[in-house]
Amino acid sequence: MTKITVRELRKEDIPELSRIEAESFSMPWSAAAFGELLTRPYCTYLTALADGRVAGCCGYTDSLHEANIDNVVVASEYRNRGIAQIMLAKLLERGAASGVESYVLEVRVSNLPAIHIYEKLGFRSVGIRPRFYEKPVEDARIMKRER
Ligand SMILES: CC(C)(COP(=O)(O)OP(=O)(O)OC[C@H]1O[C@@H](n2cnc3c(N)ncnc32)[C@H](O)[C@@H]1OP(=O)(O)O)[C@@H](O)C(=O)NCCC(=O)NCCS
């Protein structure tokens, strides 16, 4: 059985995370964007490992105790094994320990697996941001969770 572990995002994870981003998003984060996260104390990012191999990441930017979850991704070959849910549960634990009072995120309205996970973790829809995404243009569902 695959062993899943979650720890802080490290510099050495970035090449593989950039590859996972590129296969997962039409507007992926670059390696430089990941590198900048590591210099920002108000960003909390976690990497999930499957049998020690980088399988995905998630994280938030904290602004006055409201955490914006700005990236959640799992490599296609590791999807549907619960990794995103494990990783996000750890992220919420981390937020609780650092005094985060609420979480907010945007998700494409068509992204049913992601919406399913967020609802399971206690996020609720609070609105729609029309035409928020590009490539392709699509509305965002805004979801929130109180601590
Ligand atoms: C969204 C994403 C992070 C989920 O990662 P994952 O590790 O596969 O997620 P999990 O295995 O923890 O959970 C997947 C859940 O979605 C469900 N699911 C799968 N396909 C689904 C669909 N079409 N509709 C609804 N639910 C679906 C699964 O049944 C599972 O739920 P369950 O545990 O209750 O059975 C991953 O698909 C991904 O990286 N996608 C591309 C990037 C992306 O969209 N990121 C989110 C941006 S907001």
List pLDDT tens digits, range 93-120.
Answer: 999 999 999 999 999 999 999 999 999 9
Query: What CATH superfamily classification does 4-104 receive?
Result: Gcn5-related N-acetyltransferase (GNAT) (3.40.630.30)
Does 147 score more than 90 pLDDT?
A: no
pLDDT of the residue at 27: 95
Please report the sign of the dihedral spanned by the C-alpha atoms of residue 82, residue 37, residue 107, residue 18: negative
pLDDT of the residue at 25: 95
Cα 113 to middle of ligand 1, angstroms: 4
Tell me which of 2, 46, 72 to substitute to probe ligand 1's pocket, judged by most ligand atoms within 8 Å of the beta carbon: 72
Helix ranges restricted to H, 25-133: 31-37, 83-97, 112-120
CA separation, residue 49 to residues 53, 87, 120, 143 (Å): 5, 10, 22, 26
The per-residue pLDDT of the chain, averaged, comes to 97
In the chain, domain spans: 4-104
* Ligand 1 and 54: CB distance under 6 A: no
* Ligand 1 and 110: CB distance under 6 A: no
pLDDT of the residue at 50: 98
Does 14 score more than 90 pLDDT?
A: yes
Helix (H) or strand (E) holding 18: helix 14-24
pLDDT in tens, 122-139: 999 999 999 999 999 999
pLDDT of the residue at 64: 95
pLDDT in tens, 55-75: 999 999 999 999 999 999 999
Q: How far apart are CA 56 and CA 17, in angstroms?
A: 7
Query: pTM of the entire structure?
Result: 0.97
Tell me which of 73, 104, 109, 111 to substitute to probe ligand 1's pocket, judged by most ligand atoms within 8 Å of the beta carbon: 73
Q: Which residue has the tokens 């996970």?
A: 117
Percent of all residues in the chain with a pLDDT value above 70, rounded to a whole number: 100
Cα 39 to middle of ligand 1, angstroms: 29
pLDDT of the residue at 1: 87
